[in-house]
Structure 1
Amino acid sequence: MRVRNRWVILSVSMVAQIASVASMYGVPYVLPQLRDAYGLSTAQAGMLVGLPAFGLLVTLLAWGVVIDRVGERPTMALSLLLTAGSLALLPLAAGPWTVGGVLFLAGASGGPVNAASGRLILSWFAARERGLAMGIRQSALPLGMGIAAVVLPGAAERWGFVGAMLLPAALAALAAPTVLLLSPPPRRRAEGTGGGREGPTGDEAEPERTGRSARGPSASPYRAWTIWRVHGVSMLLGVPQISLMAYALVYLVQEHGWSAPAAGAVVAAAQVPGAAGRLLLGLFSDRIGDRMRPVRVLASVSTCGLLLLAAAPGAAPWTAVPLLLVCLVLSMSHNGLTFTSVAEIAGTAWAGRALAVQNWLQAVSTTLTPVMMAPVIDGAGLPAVFAACAVFAAAAVAAVPVTSGRS
């Protein structure tokens, strides 16, 4: 029997997203074991962390076309199965090159879940609740990382790097059949004709007449600069987000002498308020009718927090954990708003491709970030990474479009 309740559909989408995130981005939480297992430096192991994002980068635009042509549910299920199958090859990997190849395949397979589930939100939820719904959906990213941060360090100490990474592979394999139980999204009348949705009533969805963003334009949204600026903001804010997620655990272990499980617990603690932040900011954006104005404020506060994190712990070590937690929460709070803005600007006709482009450009940022930060670590240490991240957050403040409302 098909699931037609839009809130249940949102919940299943979150489970799929958590499985995908834990599979592709769980590597930072087992970075010490990865480093020791293959005799790597921290910088070298950090570069392996970026390979799932590189795999996503190579395939994501093609996945966006598949989403718009084939549909969200089959694309998500296929992606989860391929991700699980890729990580299942890890026991066969003999060295860092083959491990890197497996991580690349996992990223190449896992790309469409985020874009496909975002397109489901655009189809099933009205504009007045879409920011909240997308915020809830986007909270799956920090929740997935939080689960990984809690589970994987201890699993890696017991079973090693390979054994730990088989756990998110199993979760992805279990999530795939559940996705196929969802009903297809409500059909809409022809784009731009002024009509609402065909068919769905009651709890499924109600006809929405909120202008261009609800129905979606048939022309490319990329003829205007607004969507490009939203993409740019996401890329810039992705640098501190990925840097903090990749190096927070190592920072606590290497600079402050923490054990890996204890450091993982601290990183995990940031995921809950990070997820709540996406939800609350989405709800706030629904109320004010503007997705990007809160992002500008968030980027400004993040700039200040990162500068403090770079400088303060050297003089007052007790400030390291509070500042790290604050910066982690701030770094992950923007995603729901930028994804919602991209989806609404694009409309349903272009949502799959536009969200794929959004993910693809973020993958560029994710892939390049460890490469950019490796010489910073080697030359000046981990605190300098946080100072460099502050520069990118400051650039995002300037890049935020003046308005990116819901209409």
Structure 2
Amino acid sequence: MASADPLPSRSPVSAARADPYIWTVLAVAVATQTAGSVAAQGIYILVPFWREAFGVSLASASLAVTVMNGAQIVTMFALGRAIDRHGERTVVGLAMLGMALALAGAAAFAEGLPALLLCMAFLGGTYAAVQPGGTRAILRWFPPRHRGLATGFRQAAVPFGTMIAAGLLPFLAVHHGWHAAAWAGAGVSLLGAGLFWCFYREGGEVAAKADQPLSPRALVRVVGREPTFWPVLRLGIAMCAFQFTFTAHVIGFVAEGLGLGMVLAASLFAGAQLAGIPGRVLLPWASDRFLSGRRVQSFGVVSLLSAGAAVALAALPIGTPLPAIAAILVVLGFFGIGWFPLYLLQIAECAPKGSIAATVAFATTLCMVVMALGPLLFGLVVDHVGYSAAWAMLVLPVVAMSLPLLRSRPRIIA
């Protein structure tokens, strides 16, 4: 059942042109995404603590991450369709509550790895609603000239939430045990649910049930008619493999391949992640501000710049001055992490009116599959052939998928 709206006659996008409420929508979307990132990305950070607490191998403790991500892949499309049918306020609010319950259950009852994995599966299955729900909210409330900036701020909340988790959760786990860290994650998620329910409102469009979400087969057929959808999706898949493989392996490459050691390599990696936060805001803002109607081309250019920076990093010899390595990693972070809002917004704008969240969920599900496989394949190639072949495997698909986007025609979004 859709949530009630105090202004049932309002059309979100048209009202957004003069209504300051759009900035409340943005603040709520950013806060919700930040809370979700603290709770879900914090699972990566707690893996070493679970390894020690349960006396298991690192691989076994890492199953918490695998199970969480696997549950997202399984549930994301169904949750996207539910958001299109019932509205983002209801589904995302309940999903954030579900995340809080999953972490509270882990803190209260998980005395062994099997119980923990069950809680992590529930956490991932509910977290899957946050991305399509937040994207749908931005697309429905914001006019085209503001969508890039709004999406950029919301997506910057992902690394921002991860930074909060990295600073908060290990401190709590060291001084009070991992249960305290899990309770903290549950509290943050519950706060996110409360903020979303209290301050976000659906538009009259949802209350009127003007559109119904398409079936999976019909959705693929309809979005496939958009000339830019498949080229953008293919490049997005290549860039997801690029970003998350880079995240998983760059510390090892810089430490071993460039001879800097793990501590210094990790510090440089943190700087690259930090550079991705303004990248996620500034790149879509610049695209909308200076390249109106050319977001597809902007996505292609940003992807090529990411690939170029990776090639430059891979070509560095041992003994390269530290400032040069740091500069390349900052460029990689800015473009190689900042690209995502350009992609996400383009996918959403290709969606049928009644299936925005389902379209985002469909595209994100495919990306999550390569996010899981990319680091594994890169590691296998490094083990058997070396870093040069592995970097080539990562960069060449990005280049190949970027070039068609540069030749696409400008698109006007009404």
Taking structure 2 as the reference length, what is the TM-score of the superposition?
0.78
Alignment partner of 1:84 out of 100, 105, 116:
100
* CA drift at 1:403: 3.8
Question: C-alpha separation between the residues in 2 aligned to 1:329 and 1:86?
Answer: 33
Paired letter, 1:58: V
Question: C-alpha separation between the residues in 2 aligned to 1:27 and 1:190?
Answer: 37
Alignment partner of 2:316 out of 312, 318, 337:
312
Q: What is aligned with 1:369?
A: 374
| 1:5-404 correspondence to structure 2 within 5 Å | 5-30=21-46, 32-33=48-49, 38-40=55-57, 49-91=65-107, 92-93=109-110, 99-158=116-175, 163-181=180-198, 182-187=200-205, 220-248=222-250, 256-259=260-263, 267-287=269-289, 288=291, 289-312=293-316, 314-316=318-320, 318=322, 319-376=324-381, 378-379=383-384, 386=391, 388-398=393-403, 400=405, 402-403=408-409
CA offsets 1:267-307 (integer angstroms, 9 cap, x no match): 55444432222222222222322211111111111112112
Question: C-alpha separation between the residues in 2 aligned to 1:333 and 1:108?
Answer: 26
Tell me how many residue pairs correspond in the alignment. 379
Contact 2:232/2:347 (<8 A) preserved: yes
CA offsets 1:64-105 (integer angstroms, 9 cap, x no match): 110011100111111111112223343444555654444333
Q: What is aligned with 2:17?
A: none
Contact 2:252/2:262 (<8 A) preserved: no
Question: C-alpha separation between the residues in 1 aligned to 2:79 and 2:41?
Answer: 19
CA offsets 1:322-361 (integer angstroms, 9 cap, x no match): 4334323322111111111112121432212111112212
Q: Which runs of 5+ in 1 are unaligned?
A: 193-216
* CA drift at 1:63: 0.4
Question: C-alpha separation between the residues in 2 aligned to 1:399 and 1:155?
Answer: 48
* CA drift at 1:116: 0.9
Change (3 A) 1:272 1:320: closer
CA offsets 1:140-159 (integer angstroms, 9 cap, x no match): 22222232344345445545
Change (3 A) 1:28 1:379: farther
Contact 1:270/1:328 (<8 A) preserved: yes
Change (3 A) 1:44 1:316: farther
Contact 1:376/1:385 (<8 A) preserved: yes
Contact 2:240/2:370 (<8 A) preserved: yes
SS at match of 1:348: coil
Contact 1:146/1:267 (<8 A) preserved: no
Paired letter, 1:183: R
Contact 2:155/2:280 (<8 A) preserved: yes
* CA drift at 1:128: 1.8
Paired letter, 2:276: G
* CA drift at 1:119: 0.9
Question: C-alpha separation between the residues in 1 aligned to 2:110 and 2:98?
Answer: 17
Taking structure 1 as the reference length, what is the TM-score of the superposition?
0.79
Q: What is aligned with 1:208?
A: none
CA offsets 1:216-245 (integer angstroms, 9 cap, x no match): x9x932334521222222111011221233
Moved more, 226-235 or 12-21: 226-235
Change (3 A) 1:125 1:273: same
Q: What is aligned with 2:215?
A: none
* CA drift at 1:13: 0.8
Question: C-alpha separation between the residues in 1 aligned to 2:161 and 2:183?
Answer: 15
Paired letter, 1:314: I
Q: CA RMSD in A?
A: 3.6
Paired letter, 1:299: S
